[in-house]
Chain A
Amino acid sequence: MKIKDIQEEIIDEFGIFDSWMDKYEYIIELGKNVPKINEDDKVDENIIKGCQSKVWLHAKKSNGLVQFYADSDALITKGIISLLLRVLSNQKPSDIIQANLDFIDKIGLRQHLSVNRANGLNNMIKKIKFYAIGYNNK
């Protein structure tokens, strides 16, 4: 699926919730279902700075597509990551680099994050794009 279509899908899914407590509940459920990453990949160089919770991210490329794996010690963070990876994992590096992630604003996520978490989210996106740029140049 294309990045744009996945984003549309997520926006639709969030459309059915009335309150932010329901949205949080959904994000938490997503967080619980994120597959654990290898303990070996939970190394300091994979940590994303700027989060109150710890976030590890690493990437692989196969068949021309980039796969991302991420984990966090906080569930909400994990849920947010899972949304991000659903959109950006298994895509072509050039598409990842150009992706305009407007679903974050459209589902109202950014307004409901603390500044600290919003910064963390930005750093996460930056790091994902950084990986994509790396793979694109290879």
Chain B
Amino acid sequence: MDIKKNIDSIRNDFPILSTSVNGNKLVYLDNAATSQTPNCVIDSISDYYKNLNSNIHRGVHFLSQKATEIYEETRFKFKKHLNANSTKEIIFTSGTTHSINLVANGFNNSLKAGDEIIVSSLEHHSNIVPWQMLCEKTGATMKVIPMNQEGELNLNAYEDMLSKKTKIVFVNHVSNALGTVNPIKFIIDRAHSFSAKVLIDGAQAIPHFKVDVNDLNADFYVFSAHKFCGPTGVGILYAKQSILEDFPPYQGGGEMIDEVTFEKTTYADLPNKFEPGTPNIAGVIASGIALDYINGIGLDNIKKYEDELLSYATQKLKTINNLKIYGTSQNKTSVISFNIGDIHAYDIGSIIDNLGIAVRTGHHCAQPIMDYYNIPGTIRVSFCFYNNFDEIDKLVNALNRAVKMLS
């Protein structure tokens, strides 16, 4: 689908885009925090409760069977989209954060003092803290891949820190704070030559381009539905089957068991072993609808259009005096992080919010990056395929107005 030609009809799929803020039409540029939800996804949630609501995997009755079927079809959709080998490799969670915690927990028994794990300096806090907790429990130590001024990882330093002691490497595919696309195929390859496992946080990648876990050879790939037009509270964990089979379960409960006696419980097969209790059935099904929706538009078209938005916005923003962009890699997705002179990001955010422009200000859950640049935070604008060029002009006008007021 040619997005430019169809932008009006695409925008019509998102009812929230007609919100008005203080008499101004909403300009939503906080898509890296969460994306908006199209009618088909909203309808699917209400359809579920109107026509399907029941508990899956346990009932013999019509509704339960039907809901189970659709839930499992959704798993198949993600398997296919990611090019995974089996639906056993797709675990539904509540989000990227939950997925990472589940994986970190899986190393509780195998990691030990003297082992090393490697994180990048571009990570979201949710890809730092669970691993710090793992280090505390096991006595392993964490090393950090440094970054440069452009917001890119220093790959030489990475290669130098890899050794036989390295057990896990965890890096995001795309930085939520700067938009840098990391060379994860290289990172995975190098880690594997030391038999280390690699987790890729794909929260900011899946909405913007096609990802093939087989080609990447990632051991774990995690992301959240709410970043690609799906509902909140649903995450996807892709993991290689052999690893998941060796992992201990994360939480105990119903649905994840084979047999339970008070002496011993044996666990269910994959993927149920990692999906105890009643999951977010409506949300998972709606996430599948969101996936269909973005595939309907086409991720290649999305990438092409968003690249145009990104370069148009970058050019336009550069016309503002003293505006400094953080994250200037050649390889970027739809994120621009910046400050203007020494004006506080929060002041600018507050004023343009009054003009109906939604952006994020602050450290974007990536404090180490802000520490690197020695700033408290940035203003971050992030695009989705439903944004248009007119909205970027509005952003720039609003910023100019804010600067005038604040200087």
Point out residues on A near B: beta carbons under 8 Å.
Answer: 20-21, 24-25, 28, 52-54, 73-77, 112-114, 117
Contacts and interface: CB of A to CB of B under 8 A. Distances in A.
A112 B351 CA distance: 10
Contacts of A25: 405
B350 A24 contact: yes
Interface in B17-65: 22
B391 interface: no
B298 interface: no
Contact of B344 (A21, A73, A113): A73
A114 to B, nearest CB: 7
Contacts of A73: 344, 376
B106 interface: no
A116 to B, nearest CB: 8
Contacts of A20: 22, 354
Name the prevailing secondary structure of the A interface residues: helix
26 contacts: A20-B22, A20-B354, A21-B351, A21-B355, A24-B350, A25-B405, A28-B405, A28-B406, A52-B362, A53-B347, A53-B376, A54-B376, A73-B376, A74-B346, A75-B343, A75-B344, A75-B347, A76-B346, A76-B350, A76-B351, A77-B344, A77-B347, A113-B350, A114-B350, A114-B353, A117-B350
Contacts of A21: 351, 354-355
Contacts of A53: 344, 346-347, 376
Contacts of A28: 347, 405-406
Nearest to A113: B350
A79 B344 CA distance: 13
A25 B407 CA distance: 11
B159 to A, nearest CB: 38
B353, B355, B376 pick with most chain A CB within 10 angstroms: B376
B179 interface: no
Contacts of A76: 346-347, 350-351
Interface in B369-396: 376-377
Given A53-B346, A54-B376, A75 B406 contact: yes
